[in-house]
Chains A and B, each alone.
Chain A
Amino acid sequence: MSVLRMREALRDAMAEEMRRDESVYVMGEDVGVFQGAFKVTEGLLDEFGEKRVRDTPISENTIVGVGVGSAMGGLRPIVELMTVNFSLLAFDQIINHAAAIPYMFNGHARVPIVIRMPGGGGHQLGPTHSHSFEAMFLQIPGLLVACPSTPADGKGLLKASIRDDNPVIFIEHETLYGARGDVADDGDQILKFGEAAIRREGTDVTIIGILRMAHIAEQAAKTLAHEHGVEAELIDPRTLRPLDLDTILESVRKTNRLVVVEEGWPHGGVGANIAALVQEQAFDHLDAPIQRVTGADVPMPYSKRLEQSAIPHAEHIVSAALATTEGAT
């Protein structure tokens, strides 16, 4: 066991898989000489050289498309997009091509590509560099969607993504790159998609948080326990597609209450999706309407004060959880 930062864990995942499999390569804007805008690819160019760590022009759609084409030709590309906002420039290749090709060619073509991208707010990067698009990606059949919140999950899921034959959207959170955590030294520690982590056991309310919100939910759970006597069960889904609905349902059947926390927008969000699934399958187990805690329904503002007000905080999660338990005996 070592204590690593998220960015180091992700880098190790890539480096280990590149050592293991010659067909794995990394490309993206400034991933080589610059070592990555967030330094996630630090050291890779030195170890693997320009053939396997490729700086690209600023051409998002084409970068992803080249990745898709090379995957069809037998390689296993890891494409880094500098932020999730820039992925919008590549939506054609992600949705019309990467996600559709295996299906529309009846499995005769495979697209084993990993598209990594950092998102989320908190650094005053304003309305074009701070968004959370998990919900957009999770909607797309053909994609897998990972959103790790800890270094161990980051490493285990990234290795799984690289080895898998499906196109994977791998969402990282900008403010978690420096977060530290225990990471197994065993290089073959591979996580499975569709297996949620229960971060805290509780009996009164289930709280689901993704990415940075998994951590904020932990703070909220402490407050709920210490100040309100409410024991929250915390679930980090870790992957949104596939989603570990079984673990969520099992928890809801126990607590009868659910709060879903995300940084993204409310309409058609992760919470909206999970709420729909849970009410379809565990309606009679719910003692209160499912609460969603989301980012504000605005482009992310620049001003620190406004930005912070647009991002969910522990206090919001606490009040949402209390709203579900209100009147409970």
Chain B
Amino acid sequence: MKTATKDGAASGARPLPDRDTCLELLETMALIRRFEEEAGRQYQRAKAGGFLHLASGEEATIVGTTSVMRPEDYLIGTYRTHGHAIARGTDPKNVMAELFGREDGTSRGRGGSMHIFDRERRFMGGYGIVGGNLPLAAGLGLSCDYTDSDEVTVCMFGDGASNTGNFGETMNLAALWSLPVVFILENNLYGMGTAVERHSAVTDFSKKAEGLGVPGVRADGMDVLAMRETVTEHLRIAREDRKPTLVEAFTYRYRGHSAADPEVYRTKEEVEEWRRKDPIEAFADRLEAEGVLTNGEREAIRERVDTQVREAVEFADASPEPSLDSLYDNLYVVGDQVPGWYAVDERAPQPFRGEHERERLEGEAKKLAEAGAAYAGQAAQTGHREGEEAAARDEDAAFDERGEGEPDEDAPDPGAGGPESEDGAG
């Protein structure tokens, strides 16, 4: 099995937070797990479409992080972020409705599973492009820095994203500009189906950004208390010391990369081994052992999250499909420059394609188009009305007309706008 060296001590060594916090951590993690299981089920029933990326197994990484953030801090994530939104306080009903592509979804069915968003809770989005959220996180950090606020941006992304150009570019820029961002690399050991040893020359991801000015640490992403401890310190560094850092969280996803993943790249035994240190069960066991949680309460939490998720499904099912006339909604911010989408989409309501398009395409126009030579002066083709004789044109004139194209002496202010130095244009 793949193992992780961890900077943090075993979870037993960390004192428990107060009882309410413990129960809240447990219940949020349980809610995410239950939600993801149900999302998988609804996907099988074709209620949710597209791709579905589940985070079962990664709950401690998510909740350990969000539980120590301030409400005004920004969180930005990947395409595997149902749980991140829920952990930030987004109602599972709206997340499920988004999976169902319905009117009451977080993005009203425009985004789907990969693009959950909740501005009110400062969850600044799930993003479908691997590594695409990294520069956005730096930008959010810049907006906080620019306005002298002490809000911090937390950017969560996967081990695979560390191989994108955005990773190197963003780390360099964040360090250069001292941006208040905590980068949390959710290392679940696979970039899709490619194991970390097979996709990254440097597998200690905590070191991968060091040379770019962003120091990192490793944390046990299966231990919610370890995550809280590490992220708390790194939020402080961002908030007070104004420096970006990276936390590599070792975690594991029990399910495939997406719902359409035969998982040929790993063994059942490996998955079982990780399941034995399940972040939710391990934390609940400890709470029980230390008398914080009674067996009855454990069962009650299970029932509560079960009910909540069932209600989310019912809600999503009952939510209407988006109306077709809302197709163009929010494509643009309507205002001075854009009075409405129709100002931008210039298609005729009933495009007239002409009765004789096919015949016309047989001719010279087609040859010219194929040659990539839709240039000036070629002979005109047949007229546009059937039966109307087009003037006979000399087709050979097409290229003869073009000439050698000598420099245009009368160009406006020629050369005056040129690069002003040898290296002017880069």
Contacts and interface: CB of A to CB of B under 8 A. Distances in A.
Interface of A: 5-7, 23, 25, 29, 37-39, 51, 54, 56-57, 59, 61-75, 82-83, 86, 92-93, 96-97, 101-110, 112, 122-123, 125, 129, 141-142, 144, 160, 163-166, 173-180, 190, 192-194, 212, 215-216, 219, 241-243, 245, 265-267, 269, 271-272, 277, 279-281, 283-284, 286, 288-289, 291-294, 296-297, 304, 308-317, 319-320, 322-324, 326-327
Contacts of B173: 56-57, 59, 62-63, 66
Given A142-B331, A165-B333, A69 B344 contact: no
A211 B139 CA distance: 31
B193 interface: no
Contact of B426 (A29, A104, A283): A29
Contacts of B108: 106
Given A142-B332, A177-B417, A319-B376, A61 B425 contact: no
A317 B410 CA distance: 14
B373 A66 contact: no
Contact of A72 (B110, B118, B139, B415): B139
B6 interface: no
B136 A245 contact: no
Contact of B142 (A69, A103, A271): A69
A107 B330 contact: yes
B308 interface: no
Given A70-B146, A283-B352, 14 more contacts: A7-B417, A38-B424, A57-B169, A57-B173, A62-B134, A62-B135, A66-B135, A66-B170, A105-B119, A110-B333, A291-B376, A291-B378, A292-B376, A297-B373
Contacts of A241: 344
Interface stretch (B12-20, B43-51, B60-68, B396-404): B396-404
Given A38-B420, A83-B425, A175-B418, A71 B413 contact: no
A57 B166 CA distance: 13
A180 B111 contact: no
Given A72-B139, A92-B129, A104-B115, A61 B166 contact: yes
A292 B216 CA distance: 56
B187 to A, nearest CB: 22
Instruction: For the complex of A and B, list the 10 residue pairs with the smallest distance between their C-beta atoms, beginning with the closest.
Output: A69-B139, A65-B135, A178-B416, A73-B143, A177-B417, A107-B330, A327-B391, A297-B372, A319-B377, A316-B376
Contact-residue size bin, chain B (C-beta under 8 Å from the other chain): 35 or more
Nearest to A52: B146
Interface stretch (B202-210, B249-257, B313-321, B335-343): B335-343
B139 A105 contact: no
A314 to B, nearest CB: 7
A110 B284 CA distance: 41
Contacts of B211: none
B74 to A, nearest CB: 7
B343 A194 contact: yes
B346 interface: yes
Contact of B413 (A105, A180, A281): A180
B329 interface: yes
B332 A166 contact: yes
A55 B282 CA distance: 49
A194 B335 CA distance: 13
Interface string B118-141: 110000110111001011111111
Nearest to A277: B346
Interface in B337-359: 337-338, 343-348, 351-354
Given A73-B140, A110-B333, A297-B372, A105 B117 contact: yes
Nearest to A82: B426
Contact of B375 (A7, A59, A173, A316): A316
B166 A141 contact: no
Residue among A59, A105, A243, A315 having the largest count of chain B Cβ atoms under 10 Å: A105
B417 A175 contact: yes
B411 A122 contact: yes
B138 to A, nearest CB: 5
15 contacts: A61-B135, A66-B139, A69-B140, A69-B143, A73-B139, A74-B147, A93-B132, A97-B132, A102-B330, A142-B331, A272-B374, A289-B365, A308-B408, A322-B377, A326-B380
